[in-house]
Amino acid sequence: MIKKHKFEKKKQTDQAREQLKALEDLPLVGGFVKGLEKFIDIAEKVEEAGGEIRKEGEIKGLGSRPEAKGIYGFSIRTGIGGKPSLQTFGNIKTAKKKAGEKEVRLEETREPMVDVFDEKDHILIIAELPGVSEDSIILDIKGDILTLEAGDEKRKYSKEILLPAKVDFGSKEESFKNGILEVKIKKLKRET
């Protein structure tokens, strides 16, 4: 039983390392990401106590656009007895250009940092949306995907969030304070 747990933990750690290596190919943030494997090692150590490692940054004046500002970051979270999970956020995106080549694009819309908690009778979503007003927030659901959009001409956010269970969208409760959106949606009861 203990050997199986250690094998599963190593497999999850290796997966997180692979996710980080994929980020190294980004020309603008590759230098930032290089060597981040040590954060996976730290995450393993932090796992026993629970916690989070988070890095973010900003790149100004990209290419021929001196006013352009790229936001990027990542979070490695661990829970007591849980696996490390990596989440990236920001407005720097990559796309395949040709075979083996990648193109970096700066999007107007940022991807916010979002946490999803699968509670006993509801799903709790917490999203960081600094700089937007509450009345600009739009939530929509299609199947098990919750779409979150917010912002104005200065700052825009958008993210599709995969929900871990079927929900009653009509039961959603929202609160927004200091740039933090909390959405609580009741789960649909399973038929037995």
Q: How many helices (H) and strands (E) does the chain have?
A: 3, 11
pLDDT band at residue 1 under the 50/70/90 scheme: very low
Q: Are residues 14 and 85 in the same domain?
A: yes
Q: In this predicted model, what pLDDT tens digit does every residue of 33-69 receive, in sequence order?
A: 554 555 555 555 555 445 666 667 777 765 556 666 7
Q: Are residues 3 and 97 in the same domain?
A: yes
Cβ(146)–Cβ(139) under 8 Å? yes
Domain boundary, last residue among 91, 107, 123? 107
* Number of structural domains found in the chain: 2
Q: Are residues 96 and 135 in the same domain?
A: no
**Domain of residue 167, CATH code:** 2.60.40.790
- Hey, what are 40's tokens? 């996976």
What is residue 68's predicted lDDT score, i.e. its pLDDT?
A: 67
Q: Are residues 128 and 102 in the same domain?
A: no
- Hey, what are 32's tokens? 């930032």
Domain boundary, last residue among 75, 107, 139? 107
Q: Are residues 188 and 96 in the same domain?
A: no
Measure the CA dihedral 162/168/169/174, to 10°. Answer: -90
Q: Are residues 100 and 167 in the same domain?
A: no
Kindly give, in sequence order, each residue whose CB lies less than 8 Å from that of residue 13, ignoring residues fewer than 6 positions away.
40, 43, 44, 84
Burial environment of residue 136 by CB neighbours within 10 A (0 to 12, 13 to 18, 19 or more):
middle
Q: Which domain holds residue 5?
A: 1-107
* Inter-CA distances, 46 with 13, 49, 183, Å: 13, 6, 28
What is residue 80's predicted lDDT score, i.e. its pLDDT?
A: 47
Domain boundary, last residue among 107, 137, 169? 107
At residue 2, φ and ψ (nearest 5 deg) are -70, -40
Q: In this predicted model, what pLDDT tens digit does every residue of 88-120 receive, in sequence order?
A: 777 776 666 666 676 666 677 888 989 888 889
Q: What is the pTM of this model?
A: 0.61
